[in-house]
Chains A and B, each alone.
Chain A
Amino acid sequence: MNSISALIVDDSSVMRKIIERLLRQAGLELEHVYEAGNGVEALGVLKESKVDLILCDINMPVMNGLEFIKQLPEVENGKGVPVVMITTEGSESHVVQALSCGAKGYIRKPFTPEQVKENVLTLLAGKT
């Protein structure tokens, strides 16, 4: 698999670091890893940079993850980028809401490294 750029959106810097580590453990070659603490910051990143994959929390201050993925198609670099939600919100309605907003994957916290690997690799395989 070619190297990719990823955007990790979570208000917890520790969670962003954990997700980055798991992406590397999954065997992904990461050219760039961009980080954002909320949806507004993430949209700002995408105004400047192209990414191949977005991993996004739901509960965040300023702009939550669901609002962010609704606005994603309005940003040039956001169109068609696969999004995996990684969140403590585990109800079916949250999953349905996220998928209907455009998310392609959904991982509930707490999660295993295998769940992250499987979700991300499946998504990226489907993209190529």
Chain B
Amino acid sequence: MKSANELLASRNNHQSWIPLMELATKEVFELMLGAELQPVVDDSNSANSAFDITAMVGLAGQLCGVLTIRCSRETAARMASKMLGTQPAADSQDVKDAFGEVGNMIAGNFKNKISGLGDACMLSVPTVITGTDYSVHSLADSDGVELRQLFEGSPFLITLEIHS
């Protein structure tokens, strides 16, 4: 397990954070959704997809930033279906709630993998945005971490923007 100090010292080398984020994400999908993720091989697939649902979780404390997860509403509905064992309508509150909870668990699992950060970093409750016509103006002042994965063949994107 990496320590918070080691992690924060590597602020200019965020690529080293990706394996931790990948593991945190994989565990959430395996344990809570019973799904194995696949890496994105052809990046053009996810780049061209309509990511029209976004969940954001804020981190404050020793590590400040915003974790964002984005995909299509249809993909989010399938994630919710896996979590609930039922098939909620794509635009239902359950889908938004489940998607926010996925973001929350990934953020929490990520920070719990960094020794010493668990207490020193608090999470916000998730915010879920639907649609694509919006802009986020983050106070992030360094390159973040970006992870693309496939859930049942459908791409989703996780980013962690970091404030110093």
CB neighbours of A60 from chain B (8 A): 125
Nearest to B94 among chain A residues (CB) is A14
Interface majority SS (helix, strand, loop, mixed), chain A: loop
CB neighbours of B83 from chain A (8 A): 14, 18
Other-chain residue from A61, A94, A109, A110 in contact with B118 (beta carbon distance below 8 A): A94
CB neighbours of B32 from chain A (8 A): 18, 109-111
Contact string, B111-132, partner A, CB cutoff 8 A, digits 1/0?
A: 0100000110011010000000
CB neighbours of B85 from chain A (8 A): 21
Task: Give, as a whole number of angstroms, the nearest-CB distance from B7 to chain A.
Answer: 15
Q: A15-B101, A90-B109, A92-B118 are in contact. List 12 more A-B contacts (CB 8 A).
A: A12-B101, A12-B104, A14-B83, A14-B94, A14-B98, A18-B84, A59-B123, A88-B105, A109-B32, A110-B28, A110-B32, A110-B105
Q: For the complex, what is the distance from the CA of A25 to the CA of B1, rounded to whole Å?
A: 33
A-B contact count (CB 8 A): 69
CB neighbours of A111 from chain B (8 A): 31-32
- The answer to whether B101 touches A112 (Cβ under 8 A) is no
Other-chain residue from B30, B31, B101, B122 in contact with A14 (beta carbon distance below 8 A): B101
